[in-house]
Amino acid sequence: MKVGVIVFPGSNCDRDMFHVLTDVFNLKAQYFWHEKGLPKDLDAIVLPGGFSYGDRLRAGVIAAHSPVIKDVKKMAEKGTPVLGVCNGFQVLVESGLLPGVLLKNTSLNFMCQWTNLIVENNSTPFTNKLKLHQKIPIPIANGEGRYYVDESTLKQLKKKNQIVFRYEETVNGSLDKIAGVCNEDGNVVGMMPHPERATEPEINPIDHKPSSLIFESLIQKIGVKN
């Protein structure tokens, strides 16, 4: 299975994600610079965390207009699984691939801590091996991670099962404790916490298995191809 890891100026979790994909799950990952196009034979796309363009103007907004996003949109429309983590999530909402916006945390501070996610949708390419309401110990690291939509959009998200993850407790002021959402088709998923930082026992002091299932779900959905 070929997974493309998109790299923007300011990405800083691209190597973490690449390591997990290749060394932990034995997938064929490749970096793609934001100015270049994507090959059509990619089986999945990941937008990693970081501070694309230094979070100038608004987190993710400049990266959302990068040339590579045109290809990401085309492949997403065809059903290719797309995962955006932290800054990648911000890029996905700013590009219109996901609904909502990520605002500054209510604390107005950068937050870096462990928290728990609750699985609300286990039918996406990244959650099919997880159980509904399963708890995932996972770290967050963001300054603009507070998810928000208007009331009517929130109703639609609930109606169409687009809320993928919620925080177990109030963390950064996100509306309805939302930590991750998907598009209507379910193949594009964005989440603020970092699964790539929680899949190995050496760096996860609680339980690395639930976060690992996010990547194992993708393998189950697409299959490992030589």
120 is catalytic: no
Structure tokens at 211: 């976060």
65 is catalytic: no
Structure tokens at 149: 């939509």
Of the listed 13, 34, 144, 194, which one is catalytic? 194
Closest alpha carbon to 179 in 117, 125, 133, 121: 117
196 is catalytic: yes
The DSSP secondary-structure symbol of 100 reads S
Of the listed 86, 120, 182, 208, which one is catalytic? 86
Q: Measure the CA angle with vertex 63, ends 32 and 128; round to 5°.
A: 65
d(CA 136, CA 168): 9
Contact 138, 198 (CB under 8 A): yes
Pairing of β 146-148 and β 44-47:
unpaired
What is the chain's Cα-based Rg? 16
Contact 94, 58 (CB under 8 A): yes
Of the listed 94, 120, 144, 196, which one is catalytic? 196
Active site residues: 86, 194, 196
